[in-house]
Amino acid sequence: MDKFLQAAIDEAKKGLAAGGIPIGSVLVIDGEILGRGHNQRVQKGSTVLHAEMDCLENTGRIKAADYKRATLYSTLSPCDMCSGTVLLYGIPKVVIGENKTFCGPEEYVKSRGVQLDVVDDPECYQLMQSFIQTNPELWNEDIGE
Amino acid sequence: MDKFLQAAIDEAKKGLAAGGIPIGSVLVIDGEILGRGHNQRVQKGSTVLHAEMDCLENTGRIKAADYKRATLYSTLSPCDMCSGTVLLYGIPKVVIGENKTFCGPEEYVKSRGVQLDVVDDPECYQLMQSFIQTNPELWNEDIGE
């Protein structure tokens, strides 16, 4: 298991333990984790802090050149919002735990020059599946449905 | 002047008065302002709270059906991140103060079914031009450059 994807999964589990939606994310630059985050819809009543957004917010203000050699890890395929944020900051690579539960605008993001690596990790998938079974309304709210 | 665009401009000025980047936003549903916000890069050290994001965060958790009859006002053309958020929540219409200073992925957003009305308001433009002249680095940071 990729240690950075594992760190994103750890974030997802931290969110789950706090009653939240189990999606986690880390930002890696030059082989080091600069920021970590997880979905904050339940915990902070947030509509914008998806895992990737929380991760970037926790990373704080870094230089444009740093984003441009970063890799963003997420346990789930980034939605339109999080994909747009990747494009805004010119993050060149995203590692995605799984995209079966939900698949963001991956083709569009690739067409804008971003490399997307889909791991198809069973633990990422299982975390979401069991959460959605118990909390379908929360999940739908999180993706605007 | 459209009173909702005026409210977005008031938010931009509030941000400017606090030392921030003068971009403001309001969310309108059924003729009422449900949320207001402005860019928080300087004030909160935030990398994700652009005006539109701050506005949606301040609006709080509302129903999917409510987003789907909302209009988002922004003094400046929404960037990739903010445009993605409009797509995530299915907000059908965005009123844009100006898009000369910066133009987000407007064609893509329109191709996804969102109506974009560009007002070309001179005050919105002037606010940004005079800010950028004094603070070019802050502005570049805000758009990932």
pLDDT of B1 reads 80
Query: For residue B140, which residues of chain A lie inside 8 Å, CB to CB?
Result: 64
pLDDT of B138 reads 96
Q: Please, which residues bridge with residue B32 across strands?
A: B29
Taking only the tens place, the pLDDT of each residue in A4-42 is: 999 999 999 999 999 999 999 999 999 999 999 999 999
Is residue B120 very low, low, confident or very high in pLDDT (cuts 50, 70, 90)? very high
Taking only the tens place, the pLDDT of each residue in A130-140 is: 999 999 999 99
**Closest by Cα among A60, A83, A55, A58 to A143:** A83
Strands (E), chain A: 24-29, 32-38, 70-76, 93-98, 115-118
**Contact call for residues A75 and A124 (beta carbons, < 8 A):** yes
Taking only the tens place, the pLDDT of each residue in B64-100 is: 999 999 999 999 999 999 999 999 999 999 999 999 9
Q: Cα separations (Å) of A31 from B47, B103, B140?
A: 22, 34, 26
In the set B52, B98, B107, B123, the catalytic residue is B52
Taking only the tens place, the pLDDT of each residue in A76-114 is: 999 999 999 999 999 999 999 999 999 999 999 999 999
Taking only the tens place, the pLDDT of each residue in B98-107 is: 999 999 999 9
Look up B32 and say whether it is catalytic.
no
> Cα(first)–Cα(last) distance of chain B, in Å?
33
DSSP state of B70: E
Phi-psi region of A8 (alpha: psi -120 to 50; beta: other; left: phi over 0): alpha
B69 interfacial to chain A (CB closer than 8 Å): no
Is residue A1 very low, low, confident or very high in pLDDT (cuts 50, 70, 90)? confident
Q: Cα separations (Å) of B28 from A14, B5, B31, B32, B105?
A: 35, 10, 6, 5, 22
Are B81 and A80 within 8 A, CB to CB?
Answer: no
A118 interfacial to chain B (CB closer than 8 Å): no
**Closest by Cα among A68, A63, A88 to B48:** A88
B79 interfacial to chain A (CB closer than 8 Å): yes
**Interface contacts A/B by beta carbons within 8 Å:** 88
ipTM strictly over 0.90?
Answer: yes
Query: For residue B42, what are its two tokens?
Result: 């300087």
Alpha-carbon gap: B9 to the closest alpha carbon of chain A (Å): 22
**Contact call for residues A104 and A16 (beta carbons, < 8 A):** no
Q: Where are the alpha helices (DSSP H) in A18-92?
A: 41-44, 51-59, 64-67, 80-89
- The chain-wide mean pLDDT, for chain B, equals 98
pTM, two decimals, is 0.98
pLDDT of A86 reads 98
The DSSP line for A83-101 is HHHHHHHT--EEEEEESSS
CA–CA dist B121, B82 (Å, integer) = 20
Best residue in B76, B88, B108 for a mutation probing chain A (most A CBs within 10 Å): B88
Query: For residue B66, which residues of chain A lie inside 8 Å, CB to CB?
Result: none
Query: For residue A145, which residues of chain B lie inside 8 Å, CB to CB?
Result: 64
Alpha-carbon gap: B117 to the closest alpha carbon of chain A (Å): 20
B80 interfacial to chain A (CB closer than 8 Å): yes
Taking only the tens place, the pLDDT of each residue in A32-86 is: 999 999 999 999 999 999 999 999 999 999 999 999 999 999 999 999 999 999 9
B50 in helix, strand or coil? coil
Task: Express as a percent the part of chain A with pLDDT over 90.
Answer: 99
